Amino acid sequence: MTDVDEAAKIIRAGGVVAFPTETVYGLGCDATNEEATSKIFDIKGRPSFNPLIVHVSSIEQARSIGEFNDNVLKLTSIWPAPLTIVMNLNPTANIAKSVLAGLGSVAIRMPAHPIALELITKSSCPIAAPSANPSGYISATEMQHVLMHFGDQQVFILGGDKVCQYGLESTIIDTTGEVPTILRYGFITPLVLESILGKKVKVADSIMQIKAPGMLNKHYSPRVPLRLNSEFLNKGEIGLNFGQSKLNGQYSLNLSEKGDLIEAASNLYSMMRILDNYAVDNRMQGIAIAKIPNEFIGLAINDRIKRAANL
Kind plus residue range of the DSSP H or E element containing 194:
helix 190-197
SS3 state of residue 71: helix
Q: Are 153 and 36 in contact (CB under 8 A)?
A: no
Identify which of residues 158 and 238 has a Cβ nearer to ligand TXA in the complex.
Answer: 158
Mention every residue, 6+ apart, whose C-beta is less than 8 A from residue 144.
none
Q: Where are the beta strands (DSSP E) in 161-232?
A: 171-174, 181-184, 202-203, 226-227
- Ranked by CB distance to Mg ion, the top (closest) residue is 131
By the rule CB under 6 A, 98 interacts with ligand TXA? no
Instruction: Tell me how far apart the alpha carbons of residues 263 and 166 are, in angstroms, rounded to a whole number.
Output: 8
> With CB under 5 A as the contact rule, which of the stretches 100-108, 125-133, 185-193, 302-310 interacts with Mg ion?
125-133
Q: Going residue by residue from 136 to 175, which x/- string records binding to ligand TXA, judged by CB under 6 A?
A: ---------------------------------xx-x---
- Rounded to 5 degrees, φ, ψ at 97 are -60, -40
Give me the least distance between CB of 107 and ligand TXA, in Å please.
Answer: 3
- Residues numbered 131 to 190 that lie near Mg ion (CB under 5 A) are 131
DSSP type of residue 213: G
CB of 131 to Mg ion, least distance (A): 3
Interface residues toward Mg ion, by CB under 5 A: 131
Question: Which stretches of the chain bind ligand TXA, using CB under 6 A?
Answer: 21, 23-24, 26, 50-53, 84, 86, 103, 105-107, 109, 111, 129-131, 169-170, 172, 183, 211-214
